[in-house]
Structure 1
Amino acid sequence: MPKEEPQYLLSTGEEEADRIQLKNDLIKLAFEGEFSSPIKYDELKEGRVLDVGCGPGSFCVDLAQEHPHLHVIGVDSVNMFPDPSSIPSNCELIKYNVLDGLTHRKFTEGSFDCVHIRFMCLAFTVKHWQRVIHDCWNLLKPGGYLDILEMDMMIYSPGPVTELLNLQGKIFLGLIYIWITNNSPRKYKHRTKKEYIYIYMNI
């Protein structure tokens, strides 16, 4: 049986790494900072953070540089990582397919303060999300955070012009719009039954 891989719809080369880095910079601009969740990284003494689907490691490197007391690990099934000399000593970027299960020796149950997932709705199916979120729960310490940030193709409370954008988005983005709608992790909000884990979702 062939191994499952995340279903990336975009390329995975240097140009894609640059695009992801630009997106990371735009997110920081939009949120007036890198991190929008209620997690207080400054208070995590020797904290551990895992970034699932880290791409070129933009989020990981920024977090590690801003909080040198943290140990930040990023994983992605594709190696588009920067030169090792540019990665902080408290940051690790690992080529690893999370659909194989988060069983890497670096990932032990209850060992992370936060698991971060961002913009993976084009890579994961509904079944993938169910499996990955289950694995992430198991990796979190009591009181840990699962922080998921995803795009939403819909513009809410639109005026006449933005309503047209909504319509055009459905027409021209077609299958991508349907994919995002059907594979959003929002569908799993009602499955968050482990009360000692905080699920923080920007969708």
Structure 2
Amino acid sequence: SAQFSFENIFPAAAPTTPPPRFSPLSTRTLPTQSKPFVRRIMGNNHSKPLLNKSLPLGRASRDSQHSNPRTGTSSAVGPRSGTLTDTMTLEPNYSWVDGRRFFDDKDIHYVLPNDVEEIDRLVMQHFILQRAFGANYQAPVKDLLESGIKVLDVGCGPGNWILNMATDYPSSQFVGIDAVDNFPKEIKPGNSIFLQGNVAHGLPFADDTFDFVFQRIMAMAFTTEQWDAVMKEIMRVTKPGGWVELIECDVIPHSTGPMTSAFFAR
């Protein structure tokens, strides 16, 4: 079973205490233009796994710099390995358009490029959002983070959010997962880990694993059907009483002129 185990990765970590019973945060208090969606999971009615726990995590990269020439595996998950590690790799297909690299994989629907320029854009985006919101998160979990909880970043990209959060809250454990391994492999806080996997296929975690699940700017990463599946998976891995924070762009233009209004009226 290719399932993540906190005990194997963070053996010295102390067990976390259940989160206190907060009152649900009303979304009516969140201005739609400036605040992320924050929702507390009050119960876990979706505790049954959406997919088989033996997740199709992909094959190890044959030319991985971390591969073992004798076994074909090391930090990556090889063809005979069922153990999930923080440097496992997938081998998606790519195509090039006007010098930019894109996914060419029927299972990955990310429409933006996947190259060094995109990494730079994502890093800049992280700091812009951090400045715009005045913090890395909006959910009322500061006390929990300071006491020590388990946190998941879905679609972590190059991992800036995880790196910042893991540095700010050393008592908590942070996991980032993304379809591309653009995240740090070695130089990172000891309480952080990065996994490569297609989130649309399911999350490789047991039910009720995380106290706080964070997802940001993933609107163009999933189809409509995949969005429904991903949300169910996020609810499945979030503990009862845990928090889920979603941040997405508002694609509806506001204060438009006549030309823009006419364009979107078509």
TM-score (normalised: structure 2)? 0.56
Residues 85-104 of structure 1: pairs in structure 2 closer than 5 A: 85=187, 87-102=188-203, 104=204
Partner Cα separation in structure 2 for residue 165 and residue 59 of structure 1: 38
Question: In 2, are the aligned partners of 1:115 and 1:136 still within 8 Å (CA)?
Answer: yes
Query: What stretches of structure 1 move > 6 A for 4+ residues in a row?
Result: none
Matches within 5 A, 1:169-180: 170=264
Instruction: State the alpha-carbon separation in 1 of the partners of residues 218 and 225 from structure 2.
Output: 13
1:56 corresponds to: 158
1:108 pairs with one of 206, 215, 219: 206
Describe how 1:74-153 pairs up with structure 2 within 5 A: 74-85=176-187, 87-102=188-203, 104=204, 107-153=205-251
Is the 8 Å Cα contact of residues 113 and 144 (structure 1) preserved in structure 2? yes
Q: CA deviation at 1:165?
A: 7.9
Task: Decide whether the 8 Å contact of 2:200 with 2:222 is kept in 1.
Answer: no
- 2:208 partner amino acid: G
Q: Any gaps of 5 or more consecutive residues in structure 2?
A: 1-104
Q: Do the aligned partners of residues 9 and 141 (structure 1) sit closer, same or farther apart at CA in structure 2, a change above 3 Å counting?
A: same
1:99-156 CA distances to partner (integer Å, 9 max, x unpaired)?
A: 2211x2xx11111001111111111111111001101111111111111100012244
- The equivalent position to 2:261 in structure 1, one of 167, 171, 179, is 167
Q: Is the 8 A contact 1:155 1:163 kept in 2?
A: no
Structure number with larger C-alpha Rg: 2
Asked if the contact 2:139/2:245 (under 8 Å) is kept, the reply is no
Structure 2 residue matching 1:108: 3-state secondary structure: coil
Matched residue type, 1:19: R
Matches within 5 A, 1:186-201: none
- Structure 2 SS opposite 1:121: coil
Normalized per residue, the structure richer in helix is 1
Percent identity of paired positions between Structure 1 and Structure 2: 31
Count residues with an aligned counterpart: 161
CA distance in 2, matches of 1:28, 1:169: 32
CA distance in 1, matches of 2:115, 2:245: 26
* 3-state secondary structure, aligned to 1:147: strand
Match in the other structure for 1:177 = none
- Contact conserved, 1:42 with 1:67, CA < 8 A, in 2? no
Match of 1:15 in 2: 117
Give the superposed CA RMSD. Answer: 2.2
- The change in CA–CA distance for 1:168 and 1:59 in structure 2 (over 3 A counts) is farther
For 1:127 and 1:152, the matched residues in 2 are separated by 20
TM norm structure 1: 0.72
Q: Deviations over 1:134-193 (max 9, x none)?
A: 01111111111111100012244x2xxx4458538849xx9xxxxxxxxxxxxxxxxxxx
Greater relative contact order, per chain length (Cα 8 Å cut-off, separation 6+): 2
Check conservation: 1:4, 1:99, Cα contact below 8 A. no
Q: What one-letter code is carried by the residue in structure 2 that aligns with 1:28?
A: Q
